[in-house]
């Protein structure tokens, strides 16, 4: 399948994890891709259609320069994947101004910078698609993760706001919300800890997701198959957020209910 033949794409946070999987899928399906990341040393894509591009998405100047470079070199920008993200654990008394500002700059301000730079080109072309990486943490609270929760909540509602503003330009804006995706830069630290298996056992599908599964969701939202989808927040979490959080009362009580 070559869903993205003739299209160009920028993927941020593309050195590893979910972003790298999105880059691989897009290139396999025909897109010319800028794989952008602040961690230049980790940017090792070697596919023919992929350009490794060092960019700190918290710098408006660097983001504008990247979009200009894409348009200068390939003539257009069709797809923007705002995927760079970071987190910082700590309850409110442990959260410094610097932590808070850093998390917001990487997770949400960067989306404004990149979308602001991309939209004039998409308008000129007659359309485009923006896909933001949200999180299950954007629709509820986690222990000791308030800055991340707040920033991802902002990603979700900003996605809707952009979709409303840009619908008349045929620019679709959607977000997908990963649940637990093990072995990425954000989740590597959980490997080997007991909480990792507890975490998976709490997910209705009883497992974390793969980066390839996330790339499939992101690609769908960017593709023509989603041509009438905008402002959508697509949960990709194995059912995590479908659950109320109540324990399995059915299993705990079924013997009692069965009677003598």
Residues labelled catalytic: 148
Residue 83 is a binding residue for ligand NAI (CB under 6 A): yes
CA-CA distance, 208 to 114, in Å (whole number)?
29
Which of 16, 128 has the CB closer to ligand NAI? 16
| Binding range to ligand NAI, per CB under 6 A, among 44-52, 70-78, 161-169, 179-187 | 179-187
Q: Decide: is 38 part of the binding site for ligand NAI (CB under 6 A).
A: yes
The piece of 92-100, 115-123, 177-185, 198-206 that touches ligand NAI (CB under 6 A) is 177-185
Interface with ligand NAI, residue 16, by CB under 6 A? yes
By CB under 6 A, tell whether 159 contacts ligand NAI: no
Please select the residue that binds ligand NAI; options are 81, 113, 158, 180, rule is CB under 6 A. Answer: 180
What residues numbered 115-134 form the site for ligand NAI, per CB under 6 A? 133
Q: Which is nearer to ligand NAI, 188 or 253 (CB)?
A: 188
Q: What is the DSSP string of the chain?
A: --TTTT-EEEEES-SSHHHHHHHHHHHHTT-EEEEEES-GGG-----TTEEEEE--TT-HHHHHHHHHHHHHHHS---EEEE-------B-GGG--HHHHHHHHIIIIIHHHHHHHHHHHHHHHHT-EEEEEE--GGGSS--TTBHHHHHHHHHHHHHHHHHHHHHGGGTEEEEEEEE---TTSTTTGGGTTSHHHHHHHHHSTTSSPPPHHHHHHHHHHHHSGGGTT--S-EEEESTTGGGS-S---HHHHHHHHHH--
Of 14-22, 73-81, 118-126, 198-206, which part binds ligand NAI (CB under 6 A)?
Answer: 14-22
In whole angstroms, how far apart are CA 211 and each of 7, 24, 87, 181? Answer: 22, 11, 18, 7
The window from 79-87, 111-119, 195-203, 245-253 that contacts ligand NAI (CB under 6 A) reads 79-87
238 binds ligand NAI (CB under 6 A): no
**Residue closer to ligand NAI (CB basis): 139 or 169:** 139
* Sole binder of ligand NAI in the list 4, 7, 8, 19 (CB under 6 A): 19
Given a contact cutoff of 8 angstroms between Cβ atoms, the answer to whether 149 and 137 are in contact is: yes
* Nearest approach, Cβ of residue 250 and ligand NAI (Å): 28
- The binding site for ligand NAI (CB under 6 A) comprises 12-13, 15-19, 37-39, 55-58, 83-86, 106, 133, 135, 178, 180-181, 184-187
């Amino acid at each position: 399948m070559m869903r993205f033949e003739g299209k160009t794409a920028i993927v941020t946070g593309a050195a590893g994890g979910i972003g790298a999987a999105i880059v691989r899928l897009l290139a396999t399906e025909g897109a010319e891709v800028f794989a952008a990341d602040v961690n230049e040393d980790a940017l090792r894509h070697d596919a023919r259609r992929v350009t490794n591009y060092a960019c700190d998405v918290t710098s408006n100047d660097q983001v504008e320069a990247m979009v200009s470079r894409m348009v200068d070199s390939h003539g257009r920008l069709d797809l923007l994947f705002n995927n760079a993200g970071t987190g910082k654990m700590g309850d409110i008394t442990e959260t410094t101004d610097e932590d808070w500002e850093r998390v917001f700059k990487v997770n949400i301000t960067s989306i404004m910078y990149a979308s602001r730079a991309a939209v004039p080109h998409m308008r000129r072309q007659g359309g485009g698609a923006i896909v933001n990486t949200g999180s299950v943490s954007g629709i509820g609270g986690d222990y000791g993760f308030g800055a991340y929760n707040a920033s991802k909540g902002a990603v979700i509602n900003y996605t809707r706001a952009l979709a409303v503003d840009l619908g008349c330009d045929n620019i679709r804006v959607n977000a997908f919300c990963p649940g637990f995706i093990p072995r990425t830069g954000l989740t590597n630290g959980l490997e080997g800890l007991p909480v990792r298996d507890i975490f998976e056992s709490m997910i209705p599908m009883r497992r974390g997701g793969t980066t390839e599964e996330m790339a499939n969701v992101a690609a769908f939202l960017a593709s023509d198959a989603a041509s009438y989808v905008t402002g959508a927040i697509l949960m990709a979490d194995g059912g995590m957020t479908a659950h109320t959080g109540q324990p399995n009362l059915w299993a705990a009580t079924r013997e009692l209910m069965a009677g003598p």
